[in-house]
Structure 1
Amino acid sequence: MTHEPTTHEPKTHDEPTAHEPTAHEPTTAPAEVTAFPTARHTGCPFDPPAELAALREESPLRRMRYPDGHHGWLATGHAAVRAIMADPRFSARYELLHLPMPGFEEVEIPPAAPGDFTGMDAPGHTRYRRLLTGRFTVRRMRLLTERVEELTAEHLDAMAAQGPGLDLVEAYAHPVPAQMICELLGVPYADRKQFTGHVATLFDQRADIEAKGAAYGAVESYVKGLVAAKRAEPTDDLLSDLTGTDLTDEELAGVGSLLLGAGLDTTANMIALGAFALLSHPEQLAALRAEPGLAGPAVEELLRYLTVADPAVRTALEDVEVDGRLIRAGDTVTLSFQAANRDPARFPGPDRLDLRRAATGHVAFGHGAHQCLGQQLARVEMQIALPALLRRFPTLRLAVEPSEVPLREQNNIYGVRSLPVTWDQT
């Protein structure tokens, strides 16, 4: 697509009812979905809600009624999700979106704060991305490999000293990426208690808009103080580096808050949930332990299979035809990355974890202009942390029944709240 997004508000139309097809929809179009599926009934903690697969099989793009009454769309097919994410005629601006989760029906979502480029379109989004992309290249992230190896070794040593019977989230999955993102940004790791609770609130679906706003404000206030210190006395880190750009203190605080939140939560949940998945698939675990060269493909497959971040939301800025259906200007589309990554049209046998699968093309990090900026760092951390854990503790296993592992089901980032593990002492 070569279209540029418009700079005006989307055109308004009389919205169709649940039973009124648009011009491009046949009268046999699937019935409108009345809610975005979130409940996992299968008993498998790694599978998305079964309703998503059923909806995708019937139609990869269909109408959905939002909690506030908006008649929008739900995209569950891999091709449809990628097409929408790559099309600049779909906006990420917060103030244009209708949210698929209940609890925000009466809330008017404000525009993105300065520096929060995830809620912006071009040219604002482009400006921030250009400043940051060169600082998150594959080459630069691979240069951090040695430091990630040092951190994993330190925490594995601490686990061994503590002995069998501990929470892998607290002992390993969270501190490794948390310390890494703090060092990368120039955030004192000792300060983490000042913001980790607020970051958790930002990702908690049960928190209302006021609580989320307060949490964001607290994180931003902390980072703003840090920015002022970096301007006065720069150090060798990303925030200090960015003080040499044209970003204002407010913008730097927004960028720093965004990167800090994402770096603290997302990768930690992928490491913990990835370990849970491997411990639940012993043949796959054995393959990864035996074949060091499998680390790269294994991480891509775990990203596809688990897809911890879901969903994304976009609003059409003009009429757009996708998958033979007309999405009208002002229509919001919810895109399920989980459903797209389990689409059998793209990944044969998608519900099977297969570390030898060619899982390239997954949308675990999104797609298009808004694809996750820190994806290469996350890959490096996972490719080091998971194999190192399995090598260090050959008899690592769950200390509880799989059904007893507490899950983060009411969270924008899926994962486990804790992962009790044990191993045989040598």
Structure 2
Amino acid sequence: MKIAVIGSGYVGLVTGVCLADFGHEVVCVDKDAAKIEALRSGVIPIYEPGLDELVKVNAGAGRLSFSTDLPAAVAPADVVFIAVGTPSRRGDGHADLRYVREVAREVAGALEGFTVVATKSTVPVGTGDEVAHIIGTANPGADVAVVSNPEFLREGAAIEDFKRPDRIVVGIEDERAREVMTEVYRPLYLNQAPLQFTDRRTAELIKYAANAFLAMKITFINEVADLCEATGADVQEVARGIGLDKRIGGKFLHAGPGYGGSCFPKDTLALMKIGQDFGSPMRLVETTVSINDQRKRAMARKVVAACGGEVRGKTIGVLGLTFKPNTDDMREAPSLDIVRGLQDRGASIVAYDPQGMAAAREMMENVAFAADAYEAAAGADALVLVTEWNEFRSLDLARLKAAMKAPVFVDLRNVYRPHEMQRHGFTFVSIGRTPPAPGEAEIAAQ
């Protein structure tokens, strides 16, 4: 099949590359000429494990190309995917649909023959109706079926998610689109990926409901972690105990500094606004957003408390800046609030992240960036683990302690065991776990 993907950001690029890897002929389109030129040269604008190799293979095979010429890509296409950004609109939290509308108008003028226009962008309920109206108004003679085909990609695992999805959701209003979209995803039948066809508005809401539920799950275990600290319980054991219940499941039950990234923050806000617009408020989602915002700010206070209640004039080392490992995405990352909160209290920050420092330099002021974890720890009054990159999971604790001015370690991802850290001489603070009493570490080691 001939496919055009409009928008070569995270979702568009992963979608286009994976569809090309399925054997389709794909053109990824973007207005950013510099980005397109870089992609043609094999330079990938985002960090996603395995993506560079797939681009190289499929571009070399002639199945994947990059262009700024939208009409030329759309005219021969059987399917046109809209995969442009829908950020939170400044001031009110609604999803900003300006790019979706703009693309719909441009696509309308380039359509030739029957074409399926599939919205990959995360959009509010009813956007598919609006896209269909825009195309129909701009090109009344267009033979087009507008569908909703939301993405469910995790940054850092996007290729695996695309090729081995839990489900593929397609919202249609024109039955002709069913056959076309079935053919697009036919290569996934070997993996028995469920292909769920529904109406367009339901598909749009599925995406928001899924992200909001996961955000609530994260927020729930974070509140349980606070209760564990107050009562002396262990949040990791609580999470395991409830996660073994198949009705609950263990995923997204890892206590931490709050969720961030490009999806959960904007999608929960957008779902709140959708509920308000339709007179059906989403109270649980509203509370989730509020709690998560407060939690990220509270993590700075947790670090201050670990340092004896004062960080003015002290140096804090920060390990991990991106909102999660295996990505370079800094959008809404908890580290932004944590670093700012510590700086407001007079601390100096030295930070290290395996992939996120280029983006962090654009978003953080007065931060020194280190070459590795040990350089970030050198002379530090405390070290804070914010993002659980694999290289932070087995640090040389003796070397780390020797490098620090004071052995204070705040683990916001519960990577390390309290007994182990105390045995190495650290003052250790984690999430939802009570530090061992003096002497307990030695007993546990026996």
TM-score of the superposed pair, with normalisation by structure 1:
0.28
Bigger radius of gyration among the two: 2
Query: Structure 1 or 2: larger strand share?
Result: 2
Name the TM-score, length of structure 2 as normaliser: 0.27
